[in-house]
A and B are shown apart, each in its own frame.
Chain A
Amino acid sequence: SYVLTQPPSVSVAPGQTAKISCGGNHIGTKRVHWYQQKPGQAPVLVVYDDSDRPSGIPERFSGSNSGNPATLTITKVEAGDEADYYCQVWDNSSDLWVFGGGTKLTVL
């Protein structure tokens, strides 16, 4: 079965740039989506189709998928960005959705 690998945790100081990776076999051929989940809340889509942002998501959030891994980048990190982040793809060889294990972003 298809596996997405994320680092368990990433730490960054306020104002700096956070990069969260998402590795998977031939991930560059898939559409990668990213979700932010704060404690006790439902997930929120922050990047879809590798690099597009839903309305209302700050430009500080961006994504790329030019190879392995795909990456979520958050510039000028704020305390409010502290959350768990999940990547996701559709595995069309098995007709299944797959989530990465999640990355806890800590703002120092």
Chain B
Amino acid sequence: QVQLVESGGDVVQPGRSLRLSCAASGFTFSNFGMVWVRQAPGKGLEWVALIWYDGSHKYSADSMKGRFTISRDNSKNTLYLQMNSLRAEDTAVYYCARKKGDIVVGPPANNDGFDIWGQGTMVTVSS
């Protein structure tokens, strides 16, 4: 079945780095844009970053630009989020999600919704 499984969440000290992974299965990963979304404890959803199906275009939230980098390896059906210079306010559950819009059906559109979500991985930044 269509599935996304995140991993890599951990407890880290402020200023340290962490890389999250998202393993995709059950669909043609290389045909879909992917995103990361986070949710701080007790708070709402916050979009983190978007990457096109082929990795050619990337976008990220202003508060994370320069610190977080989204990437993908289509040969491994895996999405990544490299997080550097972590701060306490980065503490959150991080979800990966698939952006609707199979490129086989039509050209990529940034404004497609997110139709498949992983279960999330917890990142805690604390000294």
Q: What 0/1 pattern do residues 35 to 75 of B give for CB contact below 8 A with A?
A: 10100000011110010000000010110000000000000
Contact A45 B47 (CB under 8 A): no
Kindly state the separation between the CA atoms of A54 and B117 in the bound complex, as whole angstroms: 14
B100 interface hit (Cβ, 8 Å)? yes
Contacts of B47 in A (CB 8 A): 88, 96-99
Chain B residue at minimum C-beta to C-beta distance from A98:
B47
A48 interface hit (Cβ, 8 Å)? yes
Contacts of B15 in A (CB 8 A): none
Tally the A-B contacts, defined by beta carbons under 8 Å.
Answer: 62
Q: CB within 8 A of A96: which of B45, B62, B95, B112?
A: B62
Chain B residue at minimum C-beta to C-beta distance from A34:
B113
> B45, B50, B100 — which one has the most chain A CB atoms within 10 A of its CB?
B45
> B47, B61, B113, B118 — which one has the most chain A CB atoms within 10 A of its CB?
B113
Q: What 0/1 pattern do residues 45 to 56 of A give for CB contact below 8 A with B?
A: 100110000100
Measured CB to CB, the residues of B under 8 A from A are 35, 37, 44-47, 50, 59, 61-62, 95, 97, 100, 110-115, 117-120
A42-B120, A86-B45, A101-B44 in contact; A96/B61 too (CB < 8 A)? Answer: yes
- The prevalent SS among residues of A at the interface is strand
Contact B100 A48 (CB under 8 A): yes
Contacts of A43 in B (CB 8 A): 37, 45, 95, 97, 114, 117
> A residues 73-108 with Cβ under 8 Å of B?
84, 86, 88-90, 92, 95-102
Kindly state the separation between the CA atoms of A61 and B100 in the bound complex, as whole angstroms: 19
Contacts of A102 in B (CB 8 A): 44-45
Chain B residue at minimum C-beta to C-beta distance from A94:
B62
> B37, B118, B119 — which one has the most chain A CB atoms within 10 A of its CB?
B37
Q: What 0/1 pattern do residues 8 to 38 of A give for CB contact below 8 A with B?
A: 0000000000000000000000110101010
